[in-house]
Amino acid sequence: MPEGKPNSAGPIRVALLGCGTVGTEVVRLLTDQAADLTARIGAPVVLTGIAVRKPNKHREVPAELLTTDAAALVASDVDLVVEVIGGIEPARTLLLEALRSGKSVVTANKALLAEHSAELFEAADASGADLYFEAAVAGAIPLLRPLRESLAGDRITRVMGIVNGTTNFILSGMDATGASYSETLEEASRLGYAEADPTADVDGFDAASKAAILASLAFHTRVTASDVHREGISAVSASDIAAAKGLGRTVKLLAICERVTETAEDGTTKESVAARVHPAMIPRSHPLAGVNGAFNAVFVEADAAGEMMFYGQGAGGAPTASAVLGDLVAVARNRVHGGRGPRESAYAGLPVRSIGQTPTRYHISLDVADRAGVLAQVAAVFAEHDVSIAAVRQEGRVDDASLVIVTHAASDAALRSTVDKVGGLPVVRDVVSVMRVEGEEQ
Amino acid sequence: MPEGKPNSAGPIRVALLGCGTVGTEVVRLLTDQAADLTARIGAPVVLTGIAVRKPNKHREVPAELLTTDAAALVASDVDLVVEVIGGIEPARTLLLEALRSGKSVVTANKALLAEHSAELFEAADASGADLYFEAAVAGAIPLLRPLRESLAGDRITRVMGIVNGTTNFILSGMDATGASYSETLEEASRLGYAEADPTADVDGFDAASKAAILASLAFHTRVTASDVHREGISAVSASDIAAAKGLGRTVKLLAICERVTETAEDGTTKESVAARVHPAMIPRSHPLAGVNGAFNAVFVEADAAGEMMFYGQGAGGAPTASAVLGDLVAVARNRVHGGRGPRESAYAGLPVRSIGQTPTRYHISLDVADRAGVLAQVAAVFAEHDVSIAAVRQEGRVDDASLVIVTHAASDAALRSTVDKVGGLPVVRDVVSVMRVEGEEQ
């Protein structure tokens, strides 16, 4: 269908790919809200089929719509395809097919978007179809539309948020109980907050996909999941949590996307972007510190708009379906009234910095011998590696002492060499905790 | 220009009406971001003129663009008109003229939208022009686009927020210092946080306009400023603030928009909406309690999405200009690529409930004689008026006592009769504070 060509003749025909928790909720909302959707779109929506792998599984959806032939459903006479299967294949092939034949796509698939958005956008552009994916990041929170559209006249400098519910549940639990990572993960699995194989969440893959999508939209450049520095939470120890608490901080898994502007000696500036996912200590007074359980929250900083925060449910069937339906209405309106949603905006073509080029602040907690001169020895190692110390706290105990150091911004590499050498000093008994620090003045 | 007709031939020509703080920032962003805007829109933006009343006033904008003839500027060959004059006239006449001649409009004018949106949308519809107004509510916070678009597939039930910076500055100040309303207002004026004539802010007119806009978008119905129950903050006393503090609460001026569903005996349901602006006590643990100064924050509740919060700068030149520019990009993209933004969605046509039909909880603080039987007498008056008591706290002092009562939801009228009668009891020395309570379980 050529760009902007209105199709006001009849109803909007929709194919649904996948019918798990989110898909079932999409079907429910399409039914319950039918009259409202018709009024808002200007035409009724008709669900023509639902592609599933196991048609005999019990589902609260009309059985006559189920099919196992997703490719045939995509090839059939539909205006738009909603994809809630997840994962790369077969979603990628099906959506490329849909877009190439001019069918608009609404998807909640973060992994696919984070890896193959260029290819998907090209297919959409070639046929004039729409590609919407609000549900792919932060569930029900309207976040991508604000980044793509509301802030399109501003210059976004930073996006930082909690975008994974499972890891947030685990870290909140460790903070509340003092329990270890493995105990708390077990509890999360038992309660249904962690998948049987929790790798995608706890190792930060899910958050990294979301960071890639956020960075691409915020900075008008291409960032894929493999560009994102990724550290999960499995190495976060009860000692780390205790050390954070002792300093009025808490530990969160953060996704951070930054625009970096460097000014050369001749006054010219060079821009680049950095995206990273890692656990970090943040002050308890920071608004993100109070975000618990399945909730997500994302801070956005822009030159003119200043600081904004978006908060809401980051996962779950109904919240995710709400985001899918919002996109469905937008795409359907474009079909009825003509016009197109935003295309890929990657004109900035900014280079991506590695974590080695992205200095951050660190918190280091050491068990040391309680005698004079220890701080001098430790501080000398930091100085030697050019890692500047921002604050030190030393507390004597029975026959040893705890030494807590917070650095100014330092590179990953410099910090690691420093910690290695400090850990080898005879006066240092143990390196208790090393963690990045965020959410404070640099 | 007919709906969806692309104008990809040349640059997007823009007229700016008004050049105060916001207008100056709009000009600055159009200049500073020119290359980015061109890339994001697909065509360059050209500012063809700026209508002002006093052309000789010093401004940081190109003098050759200034004109005092706003009508001629609107009638000239432009694609879109940005209005940041404020107030009803001449803005209304100018924008109607622009829309009727097919020029799209971006405005930050909450008073105009809250009174005349029907007329403006009709004019836009007749010519196929766009009408965008993100900057009219909550400054830089992307809020209207999420309500109009992201949540278009959901059923919004409640919107509650802090949408006026001046009153929030005053109430935060009273809470921090214990000073009176008039002292704090004076301080706010001195620091530039309150206008020379603060009526629009302190009497709640500004917040009521915003509530009308929010209710219209959230519930797909027409709500005007005159439909909004409005109480300002000038009657909030130091005693009210002290009473709130004693109970772990703080006082905020809230704009609250609600969808009310009543089920009749025969099972049929009837929907209506209510919108109100008034000071209320909220728990200090509530996220809105921590929103201070010029910041705004709005909670949105929807059936599927659950609870969301949007937080950011609610006023100021640059933040408001950011929202204006976001709309400008959207409108310009529609010109270049064809298509239209959302039109008025008022199909629901829901009746608006008066405050008399909108029960809320109340906090009442009384100075009473410290003797037996006082509570019984007071409680009898509440029972007589069918106002149910949720909690009571009585504290003896030297020769009198303080009695604090929190009610269950009660109507405005019932509460007022109750307080009148209680105030007349011989054992009651003074009615110290009467205030609505929000943000807690009903």
Task: Tell me: pLDDT of B163 over 60.
Answer: yes
Residues B367 and B321: their CA atoms lie apart, in Å, by 49
User: Which of B149, B303, B316 is facing A326, going by the closest CB pair?
Assistant: B149
**Mutate which: A284, A322, A327, vs B, most B CBs within 10 A:** A322
Tally A–B CB contacts below 8 A: 208
DSSP code string of B265-314: TTS-EEEEEEEEEEEEEEETTSGGGG--TTEEEEEEEETTTEEEEEEEE-
Give chain B positions within 8 Å (CB) of A153: 29, 33, 37, 40, 322, 324-329
Task: Tell me: pLDDT of B305 over 90.
Answer: yes
Residues B309 and B331: their CA atoms lie apart, in Å, by 26
Q: Contact B140/A312, CB-based, under 8 Å? A: no
Q: Residues B94, B17: contact at Cβ < 8 Å?
A: yes
Task: Give the pLDDT score at A78.
Answer: 97
Task: Tell me: pLDDT of B385 over 50.
Answer: yes
Q: Which of B117, B123, B214 is nearest to B162 (CA)?
A: B214
Average pLDDT over residues B62-74: 96
* Parallel/antiparallel/unpaired status of strands B306-313 and B361-369: unpaired
Among chain A residues, CA nearest to B45: A153
For residue B248, give the 3-state DSSP assignment.
Answer: coil
User: Which residues 6+ apart lie within 8 Å of A20 measured at CB?
Assistant: A84
Query: How many percent of chain B have pLDDT more than 90?
Result: 79
Instruction: Pull the structure tokens for residue B32.
Output: 């500073």
The annotation places the binding site of A at 17-24, 110, 195
**What is the enclosing helix (H) or strand (E) of A169?**
helix A165-177
In angstroms, what separates the C-alpha of B309 from chain A's closest C-alpha? 5
B293 confidence band (pLDDT: 50, 70, 90): confident
ipTM metric: 0.90
Q: Does A37 touch chain B (CB under 8 A)?
A: yes
Q: Is residue A270 annotated as a catalytic residue, yes or no?
A: no
Residues A206 and A201: their CA atoms lie apart, in Å, by 5
Give chain B positions within 8 Å (CB) of A145: 142, 145-146, 149-150
Q: Residues A255, A214: contact at Cβ < 8 Å?
A: yes
Q: Contact A304/B313, CB-based, under 8 Å? A: no
Residue B423's φ and ψ, nearest 5 degrees, are: -60, -25
Task: Tell me: pLDDT of B315 over 60.
Answer: yes
Q: Between B399 and B88, where is the model more confident?
A: B88
Query: Which residue stretches of B34-147 are H helix?
Result: 34-41, 70-75, 91-100, 110-127, 144-145
B427 confidence band (pLDDT: 50, 70, 90): very high
In angstroms, what separates the C-alpha of B381 from chain A's closest C-alpha? 42
Is the N-terminal amide bond of A90 cis, ω within 30° of 0? yes
Give chain B positions within 8 Å (CB) of A316: 306
Residues B161 and B151: their CA atoms lie apart, in Å, by 17
Q: Does B392 touch chain A (CB under 8 A)?
A: no
Q: For residue range B328-376, list pLDDT tens digits in order.
A: 999 999 999 888 888 889 999 999 998 888 899 999 999 998 888 889 9
Task: Tell me: pLDDT of B3 over 80.
Answer: no
Which residue among the candidates B210, B245, B252, B421 is catalytic per the annotation?
B210
Residues A128 and A199: their CA atoms lie apart, in Å, by 37
Given a cut of 50, the residues of chain A with pLDDT beneath it are 1-7, 442
Task: Give the pLDDT score at B5.
Answer: 46
Query: Which residue stretches of B76-153 are H helix?
Result: 91-100, 110-127, 144-145
Q: For residue range B14-29, list pLDDT tens digits in order.
A: 999 999 999 999 999 9
Q: Residues A141, A118: contact at Cβ < 8 Å?
A: no
Give chain A positions within 8 Å (CB) of B306: 140, 312-313, 316, 318-319
User: Which residues 6+ apart lie within 8 Å of A88 measured at CB?
Assistant: A111, A112, A115, A116
Q: What's the Cα-to-Cα distance from A254 to each of A161, A238, A281, B146, B391, rounded to whole Å?
A: 6, 18, 10, 24, 41
Packed helices A91-100 and A110-127: angle between N→C axes, nearest 10 degrees:
20
Instruction: Pull the structure tokens for residue B349.
Output: 């046509």
User: Which residues 6+ apart lie within 8 Å of B277 measured at CB?
Assistant: B204, B207, B208, B211, B228, B229, B230, B231, B253, B254, B255, B256
Instruction: Pull the structure tokens for residue A13.
Output: 């025909």
Q: What angle do CA A39, A41, A44 make, to 5 degrees?
A: 75
Task: Give the pLDDT score at A4.
Answer: 42
Q: For residue range B38-56, list pLDDT tens digits in order.
A: 999 999 999 999 999 998 8
Task: Give the pLDDT score at B441.
Answer: 57
Q: What angle do CA A441, A405, A391 make, to 5 degrees?
A: 50
Identify the sign of the CA torsion B15, B344, A106, A96.
Answer: negative
Q: Does B4 touch chain A (CB under 8 A)?
A: yes
Q: Which of A417, A407, A408, A413 is nearest to A381 (CA)?
A: A417
* Parallel/antiparallel/unpaired status of strands B12-17 and B80-83: parallel
In angstroms, what separates the C-alpha of A334 from chain B's closest C-alpha? 7
Among chain A residues, CA nearest to B25: A304
Q: Residues B280, B161: contact at Cβ < 8 Å?
A: no
B398 confidence band (pLDDT: 50, 70, 90): low
User: Which residues 6+ apart lie within 8 Å of B44 measured at CB?
Assistant: B11, B12, B34, B37, B38
Which residue among the candidates A57, A210, A270, A421 is catalytic per the annotation?
A210
Task: Give the pLDDT score at B196.
Answer: 87
Residues A389 and A409: their CA atoms lie apart, in Å, by 9
Q: Which domains are seen in chain A, by residue range? A: 12-140+317-337 (3.40.50.720), 147-312 (3.30.360.10), 359-437 (3.30.70.260)
Give chain A positions within 8 Å (CB) of B140: 302, 304-306, 308
Packed helices A21-32 and A34-41: angle between N→C axes, nearest 10 degrees:
80
Average pLDDT over residues B141-149: 94
Q: What angle do CA B244, B249, B253 make, to 5 degrees?
A: 85
- Burial of B42 from C-beta contacts in 10 A (0-12 / 13-18 / 19+): middle
Residues B109 and B116: their CA atoms lie apart, in Å, by 11
Q: Contact B306/A312, CB-based, under 8 Å? A: yes
Place of tokens 């197109």: A340
Task: Give the pLDDT score at A3.
Answer: 43
Instruction: Pull the structure tokens for residue A68.
Output: 């196992």
Q: Contact A306/B325, CB-based, under 8 Å? A: no
Q: Contact A337/B153, CB-based, under 8 Å? A: no
Q: Does B142 touch chain A (CB under 8 A)?
A: yes
Q: Residues A84, A319: contact at Cβ < 8 Å?
A: no
Chain B 147-176, residues with CB within 8 Å of chain A CB atoms: 149-155
- Burial of B157 from C-beta contacts in 10 A (0-12 / 13-18 / 19+): middle
